[in-house]
Amino acid sequence: MSTSTELKPSDIRLDERYGPIINNRVEEAADGYMDVVNAATGDVMAQIGRGGQSDIDRAVKAARTAYPKWAETPIEQRSALLNKMADVLEENQERLKLIECMETGRALHEFDLDYQLAIYQFRYFAGAILTYYQGESRPVDNGYLITKKEPLGVCAQIIPWNVPMIMTAFKLAPALAAGNTVVLKPAEDACLSVLEFGKLLSEFLPPGVVNMVPGVGEEAGQALIDHEDVDKLAFTGSVDVGRIIGKTAGERILPVTLELGGKAPHIVFPDVDIDSAVENATLGYTFFNGESCILGTRLLVHDDIYDEFVEKLIERAKEIKIGPPTDRSTRLASIINKKQGERVLNYFNIAREEGAKILYGGNRVTVPGHEHGYFIEPTIIEAEPHMRIAQEEIFGPAATLTRWKEVDEVVEIANDVEYGLAAGIMTTDLENAMTVANKIEAGSIWINSYFNFQSGAPFGGYKNSGVGREYSKEALDEYSQSKTIVAAFKMPPLGTFK
Ligand code: NDP
């Protein structure tokens, strides 16, 4: 997608401080503020509230108060408001993209895809809700049976820092469409674009329908999931925190949606055009700065073409432009923060210690004027499938390479991992493609074109990658519950119960 506006970082005006957005007002944060910094330069962009118990209490109360009216709002009106959310996001996208680019450190050009997906989410659910209510209605003996869908109530939603606006849209759109109200906690490292969007929503959504509380996960996030007046938990992030949230949901018998990590295999058959396969593989492991759960980070390449593929993959990696995030020609930019950057580099050390071979990359590079940032080379590592580098989520621009010869063997390697979010297959042979696609344990499988997101296709994980589905009509089920009403025309005749 091209962009006509050429906004510069110096054009961006932010508020000095962002407290929680409650009842359509930005309130003072009860527990103080902390800095949000530009991931690449380290400059303080703004301050956000720490988001303690008091902020969460007020936000949940607002969502609870708004709930009955929102749940009863006719679907045509909810649909119209969701379309308006899409319009507002579309109108303001260039500014929000730039803010998000600066706080995440990811390359600006990538946000064209992020915002396309986010805008689409609101439009999709604006339409989907109009055709969702197709409950059963049938005559039964002496009466009638009706099944209907009802919303759940107040939803607690927690999102990560890697793709803030995609996550905001994935969470808000189905929840609101289904008639729920929301308290959203964005990630402390990347929440300014989300809070700015929240301010725009406050201009037209009924008060209390969407509330946002910035803050620290262990404080604001924990207080939100533990709040006794929330009816649903939805989370995207690490498996460790996913377990905490799943456990809380279990203890309180709450419905939960979890979208956790990934370690996707990307399988290359020998019949491919190697140049195209290398291009697709490179996109698959470097997009989103390597900081995404859906990346194709385990390249499984057939023995017949392995050497040529590797050579070309390295050549392609050398061409990737590492540079300032806000430069539209940059293709790889800064990791979100020092902790995450060091974590990625540490994985390269683990790989070396395990005996894996770093064929290219593996280093942090300096981008002048952006010394604070963790810019990491695209990294290609030859590894055995059991090694940690080939099993654990790295969340940086790195792929492992493993050779295979037999189809059964590659299926076994592909599935021998705790995750199951996505997978890729490259081949011109439809039988191979479909046979392997059927056997891979993953929620999304892209044949010959990685990241091929399509309208309304369910998105979510097998195994430790999560519970539930988003992005599709199935998400409306995640935010609704069914009710059966059986109406008898008359009471049972007297004497039925003796
Ligand atoms: P986390 O899972 O810690 O963070 C995700 C969100 O959960 C953030 O909003 C965070 O708050 C919040 N959170 C943290 N602890 C709690 C808690 N106890 N209760 C409620 N909410 C909480 O991910 P990290 O940012 O630490 O990233 C670590 C790893 O997780 C990455 O390296 C990657 O492997 C994986 N990850 C996966 C993502 C995915 O899309 N599946 C996205 C991000 C990370 P806070 O604002 O404090 O960060």
Cβ count within 10 A of residue 145: 14
- Residue 259 appears among annotated catalytic residues: yes
Q: Ligand 1 pocket, 20 CB below 6 A?
A: no
* Cα 395 off chain centre by: 13
Torsion of CA 137, 141, 143, 146, to 10 degrees: -20
Q: What is the pLDDT of residue 135?
A: 77
Q: What is the pLDDT of residue 2?
A: 44
User: How many Å lie between the centroid of ligand 1 and the Cα of residue 393?
Assistant: 13
Cβ count within 10 A of residue 53: 16
Catalytic residue (one of 101, 155, 191, 293)? 293
Q: What is the pLDDT of residue 5?
A: 54
Cβ count within 10 A of residue 90: 15
Closest CA to 22 of 226, 195, 235: 195
Q: Ligand 1 pocket, 244 CB below 6 A?
A: yes
CA-proximal residue: ligand 1, atom 10 (nearest) = 217
* Cα 186 off chain centre by: 12
| Atom of ligand 1 lying closest to residue 214 CA | 46
- Residue 101 appears among annotated catalytic residues: no
Q: What is the pLDDT of residue 494?
A: 94
Cβ count within 10 A of residue 228: 6
CA distances from 45 to 37, 104, 341 (A): 5, 12, 20
Q: CB neighbours of 228 closer than 8 A, spacing ≥ 6? A: none
Q: Ligand 1 pocket, 367 CB below 6 A?
A: no
User: How many Å lie between the centroid of ligand 1 and the Cα of residue 237?
Assistant: 4
Q: Ligand 1 pocket, 221 CB below 6 A?
A: yes
Q: Ligand 1 pocket, 260 CB below 6 A?
A: yes
Q: CB neighbours of 122 closer than 8 A, spacing ≥ 6? A: 82, 83, 85, 86, 89, 169, 172, 173
Closest CA to 395 of 349, 340, 350, 356: 340
User: How many Å lie between the centroid of ligand 1 and the Cα of residue 241?
Assistant: 6
CA-proximal residue: ligand 1, atom 44 (nearest) = 237
Q: Residue-wise pLDDT tens for the chain (498 aa)?
A: 444 458 999 999 999 999 999 999 999 999 999 999 999 999 999 999 999 999 999 999 999 999 999 999 999 999 999 999 999 999 999 999 999 999 999 999 999 999 999 999 999 999 999 999 877 889 999 999 999 999 999 999 999 999 999 999 999 999 999 999 999 999 999 999 999 999 999 999 999 999 999 999 999 999 999 999 999 999 999 999 999 999 999 999 999 999 999 999 999 999 999 999 999 999 999 999 999 999 999 999 999 999 999 999 999 999 999 999 999 999 999 999 999 999 999 999 999 999 999 999 999 999 999 999 999 999 999 999 999 999 999 999 999 999 999 999 999 999 999 999 999 999 999 999 999 999 999 999 999 999 999 989 999 999 999 999 999 999 999 999 999 999 999 999 999 888
User: How many Å lie between the centroid of ligand 1 and the Cα of residue 464?
Assistant: 15
Q: Ligand 1 pocket, 337 CB below 6 A?
A: no
**What does pTM read for this prediction?**
0.97
| Atom of ligand 1 lying closest to residue 188 CA | 46
User: How many Å lie between the centroid of ligand 1 and the Cα of residue 159?
Assistant: 7
CA distances from 251 to 211, 233, 255, 481 (A): 25, 12, 11, 19
